[in-house]
Structure 1
């Protein structure tokens, strides 16, 4: 009699299966020929209204790493960030590592399938516990795992309005990971009643311009995540994959100028090739047919919010930046997510300290 697979083993197979489906070779182009597109141009960030603030973010992140060497997955500062082009010189100003004055709250909007894998992931919540020591907080905004951006934008709006409104300056920093970034941008554009509650929006490896991998994928492949051990997710409107196609995202950006009463920041992944986990290498190579400067899911320039402040290029792949898979699943870490170690707690603290300082300079 065949022995049943454990939840961990089945989870491993599902992870590998989804990645192979999304990253497998195909004969058709990743970006098919089409004239149904807004006029596009790829220009240096400054010419797209993006302010380069990498130097100050590096100073803050390095100071946090130096002070918090006991945190998990510690790495030297030069290894956690990627220097791209001519990075500006540092300011030399001291970094305040004391208690927060504004008490910002990191409200995380996750990417595709998170509800399906949340229980299996078994995240210990160490990032939340860490930043609370300094007067910050972190919460998760629940959105449909497999729906498109419109439904999720409404869910973000409802979640924000359900939170108690406190006096003083806005404290909510919306962190959009992967598809969470376009979900947030659509919420900000569609529901002006939430803007006064939002201190800032941060794209965290966000699929702002979509991912060409979605051009060669179908929703049924994403729906495989519903079979994860302990998965508690539904197909929703079935629009997740469609909403990530570059043509859809770029048309949305062209038709929906972002309101200027919200501050926008971008934290992009730009890993060294050796920092790509083995399970993600097939999707990395597939996307490299367009540009090798990708994190296995999104090309680096498609992660930037137009008109935002560029915080950093992170030396981590798409999963390594946010998902602590290897911490709770050591075997999967050793075999599949082989580059999953990243100092996420220190990164979250640095992001919140940077945003707080930058907002105070307004």
Structure 2
């Protein structure tokens, strides 16, 4: 190395240090904004998460099979394990099947029937409704389209339905309706599988109830870690805390109608369910996040611990029994926290992942394929099976 090049080393090192500092500060801003949003459902307070109130419909907590829930975990496990085995460790964030799912209680045995892993016959399209705040951090997250790319290899497809990040479920239901009606009308049987993630699930259900014109275009509805019964953490939160998500770098979202947090409160959700039976003629499925405690990311530990004051069987945002749709088919308990199921932070921002979102790795591509394959198989059965 020449003497002139040696002289440049200190300035180059200093320059790189400045870049590192800038990147670290940018990452810290993102982490702090994200942390603010994360703890909006876990704000520091000592009042009960489920306060005394008579503003509730009569309710019970009963085994799923006694509440009209069909337990198909055995067959779904067969399909998911087959997908994982066939696609192998080449998938992002690969996990063995036994680590990808959580066995809860007595899980039904598998059927032993053959599993089709070739091209889809029905060409189902997953239309995903995201959760609270997603539109705020989506530009920063810059999620890779790996799920879409993976599904298209096998004749499936996927699309994201844009809804307001911080608006109420009633407001977003109209946006879901408009998005579905704007899609080409299917030739033959409907192909859209609505998948509601987190708050996207009640948004989805409100759309199905309020806008009957979309039902003929829907093949099935899936709750994926859906806030079906709300979250006790929302009782301790205010909308202004959710609005902090507008300060995530590159965010372009607005506060909308300021109804997101109210829509997540248990009293709101359970009263809505009591007053709005889900439409018949559709198939409903539930994917529930039920992580082992060590699978909770460090940034989500505080909200997990707080929600554990009600029930430690939670994913940091929701209790497992609040994620199941009435009259649905239970597909799986997934060994992933609330973010790991659907928000690939660590893939696009590994430093943030290593420091804060420490358990974000999950084989989402294989899970999405398994869901669509199960639904396709199930739709081939007579409705009164």
- 1:80 matched residue in structure 2: 100
- Please state how far the C-alpha of 1:18 moved relative to its aligned partner: 2.7
- 1:140 matched residue in structure 2: 160
- Please state how far the C-alpha of 1:6 moved relative to its aligned partner: 4.3
**Structure 2 counterparts to residues 73-222 of structure 1, below 5 A:** 73-222=93-242
Structure 1 gap segments, 5+ residues each: none
Query: Greater helix percent: which structure?
Result: 2
- Is 1:38 matched with 2:44? no
- 1:63 matched residue in structure 2: 82
Contact 2:290/2:335 (8 A) holds in 1:
yes
- 1:253 matched residue in structure 2: 273
- Is 1:16 matched with 2:35? yes
The correspondence for 1:278, drawn from 273, 298, 302, is 298
CA distance in structure 2 between the partners assigned to 1:43 and 1:334 by the alignment = 39
- 1:47 matched residue in structure 2: 66
CA distance in structure 1 between the partners assigned to 2:268 and 2:34 by the alignment = 26
How many pairs were matched up? Answer: 361
- Please state how far the C-alpha of 1:14 moved relative to its aligned partner: 0.9
Q: Return 15-24 or 239-248, whichever deviates more.
A: 15-24
3-state SS of 2:369 partner: helix
* CA radius of gyration, larger in: 2
CA distance in structure 2 between the partners assigned to 1:151 and 1:239 by the alignment = 8
- Is 1:242 matched with 2:262? yes
CA distance in structure 1 between the partners assigned to 2:60 and 2:30 by the alignment = 41
CA distance in structure 2 between the partners assigned to 1:51 and 1:20 by the alignment = 34
CA distance in structure 1 between the partners assigned to 2:138 and 2:46 by the alignment = 34
- Please state how far the C-alpha of 1:326 moved relative to its aligned partner: 0.3
- Please state how far the C-alpha of 1:21 moved relative to its aligned partner: 4.5
- Is 1:307 matched with 2:327? yes
3-state SS of 1:311 partner: strand
- 2:3 matched residue in structure 1: none
Contact 1:24/1:286 (8 A) holds in 2:
no
Deviations along 1:319-338, whole A, 9 cap, x unmatched? 00111100111111111000
- 2:283 matched residue in structure 1: 263
CA distance in structure 1 between the partners assigned to 2:40 and 2:255 by the alignment = 18
3-state SS of 2:102 partner: coil
CA distance in structure 2 between the partners assigned to 1:287 and 1:21 by the alignment = 13
**Cα RMSD over matched residues?**
1.2
Contact 1:121/1:325 (8 A) holds in 2:
yes
CA distance in structure 2 between the partners assigned to 1:346 and 1:122 by the alignment = 20
- 1:297 matched residue in structure 2: 317
- TM-score (normalised: structure 1): 0.98
Deviations along 1:236-295, whole A, 9 cap, x unmatched? 100000000000000000000011111100000000000000000000000000000000
CA distance in structure 2 between the partners assigned to 1:168 and 1:216 by the alignment = 47
CA distance in structure 1 between the partners assigned to 2:326 and 2:177 by the alignment = 22
